[in-house]
Amino acid sequence: MFPTPIERKSRSYQMAYQGLLPMVLIMWLLPLIAVAVFSIRPDADFTNGNYWGIPSSFNFFENYGKVFFESDMPRYLLNSVLITVPTVLGTIALSAMTGFALGIYKFKGNLLIFFMFIAGNFVPFQILMVPVRDLTVNMNLYDTKTGLILFHIAFQTGFCTLFMRNFIRALPFPLIEAARVEGVREWQIFLYVVLPLMKPALAALAVLIFTFIWNDYFWAVVLTQGPDAQPVTAGITAFNSQYRAAYHLMSAGSIVAALPPVLMFFLMQKHFIAGLTLGAVK
Amino acid sequence: MSAPADTPVTSNRGWYRRNEIAITPWLFLIPGIVFFSIYVVMPIFQSFWISFHEWDGLGDKTYVGTAHYERLLGIGDQKMDRKFEVSFWNNIKWLVLYLLAIPMGLFIALFLNQTVRGIRLYKSLFFFPFVISQVVVGLVFSWFYLPREGLLNAILGFFNMGSLNILGDPTMATYGIIAAGLWPQTAYCMILYLTGLNAVDPEQVEAARLDGAKGHKMLWYVILPQLKPATFIAFVVTIIGALRSFDLISIMTNGGPFGSTRVLSFYMFEESLSEFGFRMGYGSAIATVLFFIMLGFIVYFLYSMWREEKEAR
């Protein structure tokens, strides 16, 4: 193990390390802690210039209540859910299929198609922006959730294909040969042999795509406009102009907007990290 | 339970069954390829096409040849587009400084690679900034930098170091935004290295230790070579992240002050969907330039991955 395990060092060294950890963590998360503290302050603290002293009262319920009951926030949150969930399902369905095709079969153009998916994934969004926006407008899907979902599914399929294909590659191939010898149809192999083995990959991709899509801002601004379709990342700017300079409410609003992926991360940590660090280990 | 495979039944089976292994992959690929082509592959070429036209996004396109590129790069008797120049150099700053996330991430990973109580929670909390959307990171940092209410100036004031208005100062604003971007990016690199460190061969480390290797020598000659795959991915995601920077700029400064924080991705968006009419042609030309900058990296990444594929066979 590197660096040298702390257990092998002197007692005082261990104590120093244990003491240093929380301090470094607090420094690391300082900007976030600042926002969390802002979000429970009463309005009066800001008018009195009491930004960093002890909050004069604990206004957690008032501030967050305002976010949930006196703004468009719940609508934006709902939009985010209605955009994110179908995208996750669609992407996973598509990429499980492409991953299966590219991971199991040997045919001409296999690597070429695989690399097309990877390359598309690295492209700057701006080169797609004008045509995608135009296409969405022409399909009468501008400012709808469907328009956003369709694009997201298509784009995320690139990354997910890379992931799925490499995962399927690592499965024991004799399993598939055995099934073929038994006369199992190819689509049945996909459904009954490969898919059940892919559960960890599906879980990892589901949490990753959930986070990516929830946090998307660029496409939300390009393809949607108002509270009917906009997800919370775009909605937060509208929220902030509604409560201009009311830092306690804006802070509470941002925390609410950031929370779902955070929860997802803490609940599904193992899968999340497995997905992100794909390929980091040989 | 199944019939022997080599019976004359073969010829009676349908065309699909006879060619099942050749046909199936294409059936599985079609939906993915169709979606990807319509939304990703074709738009790239459409953007090239549009960049040679004047277009407001609604009416007819007027062909203008390479006029947009000439205006951008200042070919002929005109000066290079000032905004483009600023954006380009800011992109370079982003690229260079964003790479700091890699050594910083490695440093934190080395710091956290211990097995004390509660270390798992510490690792998760250090990783935390990456999970938050860039929009919220942008907001969090712009409040952190606020001249009056911000925590940064409260701290500086506490140590009597005066005060800064980072986002209001054209010479500092870009660096302030990059610092905000480095926060989640470092977290990502950290998690890559933590996973990599986990897989470092303990026997090699012990052997090197017996040979008297330690500290930075051990890191450089024994550990880092084993972390190469992690470094490669960290490099890829950091470069892509640097060139994609849009959210933070849009949230924190909206390109200002005085346009000093624009980058190509932001300038393109501004031109295409500007308040003074949509200049989609000019926007597409900027996007094309950005695309070709990125293409250099993409080709390098793909080449590395392709080489590995060949080795794996």
The string of pLDDT tens digits covering residues B278-304 is 889 999 999 999 999 999 999 999 999
Contact B114 A17 (CB under 8 A): yes
Q: What CATH code is carried by the domain that includes residue B251? A: 1.10.3720.10
Comparing B79 with B136, the larger pLDDT belongs to B136
- B217 plus B251 within the same structural domain: yes
- B61 plus B106 within the same structural domain: no
Give this prediction's pTM. Answer: 0.91
Which residue reads 């001409």 in tokens?
A108
> DSSP letters along B167-206, please?
GG-TTTHHHHHHHHHHHHHHHHHHHHHHHHHHTS-HHHHH
Distance to chain B for A96, nearest Cα, Å: 9
Nearest-CB residue to B136 (from A187, A221, A258):
A258
Contact A258 B298 (CB under 8 A): no
Of the residues B67, B99, B116, the one at which a domain ends = B67
- Count of the separate structural domains present in chain A: 2
Is the model's pLDDT at A169 over the cut of 60? yes
> DSSP letters along A151-216, please?
HHHHHHHHHHHHHHHHHHHTS-THHHHHHHHTT--HHHIIIIIIHHHTHHHHHHHHHHHHHHHHT-
Chain A contact set for B113 (CB, 8 A): 1-3
How far is A81 from A1, CA to CA, in rounded Å?
42
**In terms of C-beta density within 10 A (0-12 exposed, 13-18 middle, 19 or more buried), how is residue B3 classed?**
exposed
For residues B110-132, give the mean pLDDT: 91
For residues A70-97, give the mean pLDDT: 94
- A27 plus A103 within the same structural domain: no
Residue B54, SS3? Answer: strand
- The predicted structure's pLDDT at residue A230: 93
- A75 plus A33 within the same structural domain: no
Nearest-CB residue to A31 (from B140, B191, B280):
B140
How much of chain B, in percent, has pLDDT values that exceed 90? 57
Does a structural domain hold residue A114? yes
Q: Could you give the angle at the alpha carbon of A77 between the alpha carbons of A72 and A83, nearest 5°?
A: 125
Does a structural domain hold residue B75? no
Chain A contact set for B44 (CB, 8 A): 123, 127-128
Does a structural domain hold residue A1? no
Contact A29 B128 (CB under 8 A): yes
- The predicted structure's pLDDT at residue A272: 87
How far is A126 from A116, CA to CA, in rounded Å?
18
The residue of chain A nearest to residue B130, with distances taken between CA atoms, is A262
Q: With DSSP H G I counted as helix, E B as strand and the rest as coil, what are the percentages for chain B, rounded to 5?
A: 70, 0, 30
Is the model's pLDDT at B207 over the cut of 70? yes
Contact A25 B309 (CB under 8 A): no
- B273 plus B296 within the same structural domain: yes
Contact B287 A135 (CB under 8 A): no
- The predicted structure's pLDDT at residue B7: 47
- B26 plus B147 within the same structural domain: no
| B176 lies within 8 A of chain A by CB | no
How far is A177 from B184, CA to CA, in rounded Å?
44
The residue of chain B nearest to residue A234, with distances taken between CA atoms, is B135
What would the two tokens of residue A199 be? 């559960």
Number of Cβ within 10 Å of residue B296's Cβ equals 10
Does a structural domain hold residue B1? no
- The predicted structure's pLDDT at residue B312: 74
Does a structural domain hold residue B234? yes
- The predicted structure's pLDDT at residue A282: 67
Provide the mean pLDDT of chain A: 90
- A45 plus A123 within the same structural domain: no
Does a structural domain hold residue A80? yes
The residue of chain A nearest to residue B123, with distances taken between CA atoms, is A25
Domain span at residue B55? 9-67
- A188 plus A222 within the same structural domain: yes
- A53 plus A73 within the same structural domain: no
Q: What CATH code is carried by the domain that includes residue A156? A: 1.10.3720.10
Does a structural domain hold residue B73? no
- B235 plus B201 within the same structural domain: yes
- A88 plus A219 within the same structural domain: yes
Q: Could you give the angle at the alpha carbon of B200 between the alpha carbons of A99 and B100, nearest 5°?
A: 80
- B105 plus B149 within the same structural domain: yes
| B204 lies within 8 A of chain A by CB | no
To probe the interface with A, which of B112, B133, B201 has the most A CB atoms within 10 Å?
B133
Does a structural domain hold residue B4? no
For residues B189-212, give the mean pLDDT: 90
- B19 plus B115 within the same structural domain: no
- A270 plus A169 within the same structural domain: yes
B80 pLDDT tier (thresholds 50, 70, 90):
confident
Is the model's pLDDT at A146 over the cut of 90? yes
Per-window interface: A 177-216 vs B, CB < 8 A: 181-183, 185-187, 190, 211, 214-216
Virtual CA dihedral for B224, B228, B233, B239, nearest 10 degrees? Answer: 70
- A53 plus A92 within the same structural domain: no
| A109 lies within 8 A of chain B by CB | no
B8 pLDDT tier (thresholds 50, 70, 90):
very low
Residue A103: in which H helix or E strand, if any? helix A73-104
- The predicted structure's pLDDT at residue B11: 54
Residue B56, SS3? Answer: coil
- B162 plus B58 within the same structural domain: no
- The predicted structure's pLDDT at residue B174: 94
- What one-character DSSP code corresponds to residue B79? P
For residues A238-261, give the mean pLDDT: 88
- The predicted structure's pLDDT at residue A223: 94
What would the two tokens of residue A7 be? 């257990």
Contact predicate A82/A67, CB 8 Å: no
Is the model's pLDDT at A273 over the cut of 90? no
- B128 plus B264 within the same structural domain: yes
Closest CA to A261 of A272, A252, A250, A274: A272
For residues A148-170, give the mean pLDDT: 93
- The predicted structure's pLDDT at residue B1: 44
Is the model's pLDDT at B260 over the cut of 90? yes
The residue of chain B nearest to residue A6, with distances taken between CA atoms, is B114
Does a structural domain hold residue A79? yes
- A52 plus A189 within the same structural domain: no
Does a structural domain hold residue B143? yes
Contact predicate B24/A205, CB 8 Å: no
What would the two tokens of residue A64 be? 């967050």
- The predicted structure's pLDDT at residue A183: 87
B313 pLDDT tier (thresholds 50, 70, 90):
low
Which residue reads 């979000």 in tokens?
A39
Does a structural domain hold residue B119? yes
Does a structural domain hold residue B3? no
Provide the mean pLDDT of chain B: 89
Q: Flag whether the ipTM exceeds 0.95.
A: no
Domain span at residue A96? 69-276
- Count of the separate structural domains present in chain B: 2
- The predicted structure's pLDDT at residue B147: 87
Does a structural domain hold residue A64? no
How far is A224 from A146, CA to CA, in rounded Å?
10
Chain B contact set for A251 (CB, 8 A): 143
For residues B103-130, give the mean pLDDT: 92
Is the model's pLDDT at B134 over the cut of 60? yes
| B202 lies within 8 A of chain A by CB | yes
- What one-character DSSP code corresponds to residue B223? I
pLDDT in tens, A8-57: 888 898 899 999 999 999 999 999 998 998 899 888 888 887 788 788 88
| B301 lies within 8 A of chain A by CB | yes
- The predicted structure's pLDDT at residue B12: 60
- A130 plus A12 within the same structural domain: no
Is the model's pLDDT at B275 over the cut of 80? no
- B110 plus B233 within the same structural domain: yes
Is the model's pLDDT at B4 over the cut of 60? no
Contact predicate B34/B26, CB 8 Å: no
Comparing A155 with B312, the larger pLDDT belongs to A155
- B222 plus B278 within the same structural domain: yes
- A102 plus A55 within the same structural domain: no
pLDDT in tens, A199-221: 989 999 999 999 999 999 999 99
- The predicted structure's pLDDT at residue B180: 95
- A230 plus A119 within the same structural domain: yes
- B172 plus B245 within the same structural domain: yes
